[in-house]
Amino acid sequence: MIRYYNKLILSLSEIEGHPSLLIHGLTGCMFHCFKCFNYEELIEKKHESYYTIKDLLNYIVKQQDLFEYILFSGGEFMLAPIEDLIEDLTKIKADVDKKIIIYTTGIALDKMKTLTDLNLVDGYHIDMKLPYHLLSSDDKDLIEMTMGIKVKDLTLINQLIDSIKFVVKNDQGLSQIRSVKYPFLDESAFMECKSFINSLNDLYNKNITYEAHTFIYPEGDKEEG
């Protein structure tokens, strides 16, 4: 059973021009990215009170005129078991005619493929944390600083690249690749990401958007510089 954060957010800004309902799964995360502002509240904290899919459906059905899209985020929502993802998304699709978008790092390509094949997801927004395609085994420190994990080799990074390729190739107009402009990265890193996504767009004849978002320091953290 997937546990959901019991604060649902109606947002006009998550997807420009499309009012959206943002839902966070209490599904943990395998990364610990630089100053992640969700970490304490959504990943570390033990939530005694949470929503189930039944609570979500009650809200979604009652308030469905207020939003067009349903967005799932985390932590990493795709860490939920595939059976639970299928069950919950099937129930939502059966009850309301809304587009479903999942925010993800791209860590679970097989699950992404399954949900796409079942028509349970209309788009993925992948957080491309570094110009993965340019990384070498000399960049382990950079990976650790950015994503908070130690890697032995580039296996994980290559998996994330495969997920990005899958998302671009299968985009039906609602997917997106984006980055956060971590303050220790040069602007050229994001230009490289954009150029990589453009090359995939050319390869797959798609027009997926790439966006680099301003880094926001968590509340209470002093901004450097």
According to DSSP, the β-strands at 20-24 and 9-11 are antiparallel
Residues 67-86 that bind ligand SF4 (CB under 6 A): 74-76
Q: Using CB under 6 A as the criterion, what x/- string covers residues 30-69 for binding ligand SF4? A: -xxx--x-xx------------------------------
Q: Which residues contact 162 (CB under 8 A, 6 or more apart)?
A: 106, 109
Which residue's CB is nearer to ligand SF4, number 126 or number 201?
A: 126
Secondary structure of 153-187 as H, E, C letters: CCHHHHHHHHHHHHHHHCCCCCCEEEEEECCCCCH
Choice between 43 and 86, CB closer to ligand SF4: 43
Q: Which is nearer to ligand SF4, 105 or 175 (CB)?
A: 105
* 126/59 Cα distance (integer angstroms): 26
Given 20, 27, 105, 170, the residue binding ligand SF4 (CB under 6 A): 105
Q: Which is nearer to ligand SF4, 43 or 96 (CB)?
A: 43
Per CB under 6 A, residues contacting ligand SF4 are 29, 31-33, 36, 38-39, 74-76, 105
